[in-house]
Amino acid sequence: MNHQHPQHRQDDQQVYDYVVVGGGTAGCVIASRLTEDPSLSVAVIEGGPSDVGREDVLTLRRWTGLLGGELDYDYPTTEQPRGNSHIRHSRARVLGGCSSHNTLISFKPLPSDWDEWAEAGAEGWDAVSMDPYFDRLRNNIVPVHGDDRNPIARDFVEAARGALGVPRVEGFNKAPFHEGAGFFDLAYHPEDNKRSSASVAYLHPFLDRPNLHIVLETWAFRLELEGTRVTGVHVRTADGREHVVRARREVLVCAGAVDSPRLLLHSGIGPRADLEKLGIPVVHDLPGVGENLLDHPESVIVWETKGPIPENSAMDSDAGLFVRRDPASRGPDLMFHFYQVPFTDNPERLGYERPAHGVSMTPNIPKPRSRGRLYLTSADPEVKPALDFRYFTDEDDYDARTLVDGIKIARRIAAAEPLAGWLGREVCPGPEVTSDEELSAYARQVAHTVYHPAGTCRMGAEDDALAVVTPDLRIRGLSGVRIADASVFPAMTAVNPMIGVLMVGEKCAELLGGTSR
Ligand SMILES: Cc1cc2nc3c(=O)[nH]c(=O)nc-3n(C[C@H](O)[C@H](O)[C@H](O)COP(=O)(O)OP(=O)(O)OC[C@H]3O[C@@H](n4cnc5c(N)ncnc54)[C@H](O)[C@@H]3O)c2cc1C
């Protein structure tokens, strides 16, 4: 996009009933549901291009090719004194948002996840109330197909079961669980490995609806307000023209956990002192915007295999494991993805080598305790915001200790048959690294993200001063605007969050009076 020489132009002809900012995971759901009613007009303002016909996007197994490329906003983190300062946060710049970029692992959030939201003030978002939205999802959510089940991933599942005594799970979404190893459910079409992303499932079948207006390669940089009512959004098109897209009813901010708070802050909605420091006129003092930055941090342990591994797979990380170390925990407190490739991107910086053939286990923290913060460093909307995750800074060192436990458990699985027979040497951290201190230092230095930022416009009770949206997803103190995406999560789900985001989209559509059928 050329943003160097914008020609300012007002085009007040663009008026719709609803303006959805961000054609991503939640945005596609909302636009699809709203346009079921032919009397409503809906515009979707999407920063990226269409995914239609793009094999590089639509083919699930090509997901790593999208990381850091032209369809990635690619957000850096700030210096992380106790973690890895080199993590790049991939965020998709394409219709379907991160559901067009990701691995489409599909977990219905656990009942304890939703109940935690309700306890945090999100009334009406408890497990019983949320359950029906899962059944409405249009995505093709299926277990990893038999042909895609790699023998080494099958043997990982068996080894985990044997070594830890956890059950083998076939269909993680069938019933709530605390522990288990198995192949994931994925939102994909196994016959051709095509994504069933939010755009594929919710927009592609309806692109001919006359009331659906998808405006691509167009960036929303400021909300338009009249007093405390949001009436539209200022956008900049690919050729640098700026204009306002107006909403008769509401603007729905669905730009994701990074770009939703970013848009609010550039609109003068956020912590007063921060805005004033940057010279952004304060429209609405809302101290919670950008706070509560959550993620699932992970580490990695890699083995060289004795020889090449069979090729078949859905997306190279098709199976995983949940463990509950603390019986008092309401859900799993340690999770692993199993990769049938050596995932050494971060360890290589420490001098480790990538073996020709290998596998990886990536322990992550389902309920991390460290909380980060997103903030602006410039009043220029083109400058990326700062993401300070404050990885591994929680008081009790719970997050780092969880990853240390993860490495120890990973080694127990690797030592168990039928997996052990495949493995040659442990490449990283290496068998000589054994003390808790050394394991913690390694785990944190090579830490990565499962790419799950959330929580930066968190939902809470009407009287919660740090909440950004109320349980009906409206921004506290404003009208004509709601937020619906991963930013509204009050707390991180123990499981991968995409299905939760889709369900937020479905619930938002219902709150707006959409037919949701
Ligand atoms: C590599 C990767 C792998 C992942 N794997 C999984 C997984 O397997 N399972 C899982 O559950 N979760 C996974 N996730 C996380 C999951 O994909 C996200 O949590 C979820 O998709 C976020 O949805 P969202 O609606 O909040 O935001 P997004 O889907 O990111 O949507 C935001 C949209 O808004 C657009 N946009 C942003 N700002 C603007 C603006 N100012 N103007 C116009 N448009 C704008 C963007 O282009 C984008 O299309 C993964 C994420 C990544 C990146």
Q: Could you report the per-residue pLDDT of 130-140, keeping only the tens digit for each?
A: 999 999 999 99
- Which residue, by CA, sits nearest to atom 16 of ligand 1? 498
> Going by C-beta distance under 8 Å and a sequence separation of 6 or more, which residues neighbour residue 351?
none
Could you give the CA distance from residue 69 to residue 263 in angstroms, rounded to a whole number? Answer: 23
The whole-number pLDDT of residue 90 equals 98
Which domain covers residue 310, as residue numbers?
148-183+297-367+396-446
Could you give the CA distance from residue 284 to residue 270 in angstroms, rounded to a whole number? Answer: 7
Q: Which atom of ligand 1 approaches the CA of 23 most closely?
A: 49
Same domain (yes/no): 506, 461: yes
Residue 121 lies in a domain: yes
Ligand 1 centroid–CA 92 distance in Å is 6
| Res. 498: pLDDT tops 60 | yes
Same domain (yes/no): 169, 205: no
| Res. 19: pLDDT tops 90 | yes
What ipTM was estimated for this complex? Answer: 0.99
CATH of the domain at 356: 3.30.410.40
Tokens found for residue 301: 């342990």
Same domain (yes/no): 111, 34: yes
The whole-number pLDDT of residue 13 equals 61
Same domain (yes/no): 312, 354: yes
Same domain (yes/no): 136, 174: no
* Average pLDDT of the chain to the nearest whole number: 96
The whole-number pLDDT of residue 417 equals 98
| Res. 429: pLDDT tops 50 | yes
Same domain (yes/no): 132, 25: yes
pLDDT (tens digit, 9 = 90+) per residue, 44-73?
999 999 999 999 999 999 999 999 999 999
What three-state secondary structure class fits 323?
strand
The CB of 316 under 6 Å from ligand 1? The reply is no
Same domain (yes/no): 36, 102: yes
- Which residue, by CA, sits nearest to atom 21 of ligand 1? 98
The whole-number pLDDT of residue 515 equals 43
515: left (phi over 0), alpha (psi -120 to 50) or beta: alpha
Residue 39 lies in a domain: yes
Burial group, residue 464, by CB count within 10 angstroms (0-12, 13-18, 19+):
middle
Ligand 1 centroid–CA 411 distance in Å is 33
DSSP labels for 389-401? --TT--TT-HHHH
One-letter-per-residue 3-state SS of 189-210: ECCCCEECCHHHHHCHHHCCCC
pLDDT (tens digit, 9 = 90+) per residue, 334-344?
999 999 999 99
Q: Residue 204: how many CB atoms within 10 A of its CB?
A: 17
| Res. 214: pLDDT tops 70 | yes
The CB of 183 under 6 Å from ligand 1? The reply is no
Same domain (yes/no): 358, 466: no
Look at the chain and report how many structural domains it folds into.
2
**Which residue bears the tokens 């400058």?**
383
Q: Which atom of ligand 1 approaches the CA of 498 most closely?
A: 11
Domain boundary, last residue among 405, 422, 446: 446
| Res. 8: pLDDT tops 70 | no
pLDDT (tens digit, 9 = 90+) per residue, 460-485?
999 999 999 999 999 999 999 999 99
The CB of 203 under 6 Å from ligand 1? The reply is no
Same domain (yes/no): 170, 213: no
The whole-number pLDDT of residue 10 equals 40
The CB of 47 under 6 Å from ligand 1? The reply is yes
The whole-number pLDDT of residue 517 equals 33
Please check whether residue 409 is in contact with residue 364, taking contact to mean a CB–CB distance below 8 angstroms: no
Same domain (yes/no): 126, 153: no
The CB of 429 under 6 Å from ligand 1? The reply is no
Task: Give per-residue burial for 471-487: e unless 16+ CB within 10 Å, then b.
Answer: bebbbbebebbbbbbbb
The CB of 451 under 6 Å from ligand 1? The reply is yes
Largest CA distance in the chain: 68
The whole-number pLDDT of residue 285 equals 98
| Res. 278: pLDDT tops 60 | yes
Mean pLDDT value across residues 187-210: 98
Residue 500 lies in a domain: yes
The residue whose CB lies within 8 Å of the most ligand 1 atoms, and thus the one to mutate among 498, 506, 507, 508, is 498
- Which residue, by CA, sits nearest to atom 31 of ligand 1? 24
pLDDT (tens digit, 9 = 90+) per residue, 387-405?
999 999 999 999 999 999 9
The whole-number pLDDT of residue 370 equals 98
Mean pLDDT value across residues 110-132: 98
Could you give the CA distance from residue 479 to residue 464 in angstroms, rounded to a whole number? Answer: 17
Tokens found for residue 157: 């599942």
The whole-number pLDDT of residue 514 equals 53
> Going by C-beta distance under 8 Å and a sequence separation of 6 or more, which residues neighbour residue 186?
60, 103, 104, 105, 106, 141, 142, 143, 144, 314, 315, 318
